[in-house]
Amino acid sequence: MLVVAGLVVLAVLLSFPVPRALARVTSLRRAPRAALVLWQSTAVAAVLAALLAAPAALPALLGRQVRLSESWPTVTVAALLSAVVAVRLLLSGDRVGRNLRAARRRHRDLVDLLGTPGEGADRHMRVLEHTTPTAYCVPGVRRRVVLTQGTLDRLGPDELTAVLAHERAHLAARHDLVMEFFTVVHEAMPPWLRSEAALREVHLLIEVLADRAAVRRAGAVNTGRAIVAMAGGPKPIGAMAMADSTRVASARIQLLDATRIAGLPVGVVAATMYAASALLVAVPLALYGVAIAELSLV
Structure-model confidence comparison of residues 7 and 67, the more confident one: 7
Question: For residue 81, is pLDDT > 90?
Answer: no
113-130: per-residue pLDDT in tens? 999 998 776 788 999 999
Lowest mean pLDDT among 66-80, 141-155, 181-195, 257-271: 66-80
Residue 17 pLDDT exceeds 60: yes
Lowest mean pLDDT: which of 67-71, 142-146, 191-195? 67-71
d(CA 135, CA 133): 7
Binned at pLDDT 50, 70 and 90, residue 63 comes out as low
**Mean pLDDT score across all residues of the chain:** 88
Residue 205: pLDDT band (50, 70, 90) is: very high
Q: Is residue 60 scored above 70 in pLDDT? A: no
pLDDT digits over 246-288, tens only? 888 889 999 998 888 878 899 999 999 999 999 999 999 999 8
How many domains does the chain contain in total? 1
Percentage of the chain lying above the pLDDT 90 cut: 61
pLDDT for residue 296 is more than 60: no
- 12: domain range? 2-296
| Reported pTM | 0.89
How much is the average pLDDT of 160-167?
Answer: 95
Q: 54 and 81 in contact (C-beta within 8 Å)? A: yes
Which letter, b or e, does each residue of 30-58 get, where b requires 16 or more Cβ atoms within 10 Å of its Cβ? bbbebbbbbbbbbbbbbbbbbbbbbbbbe
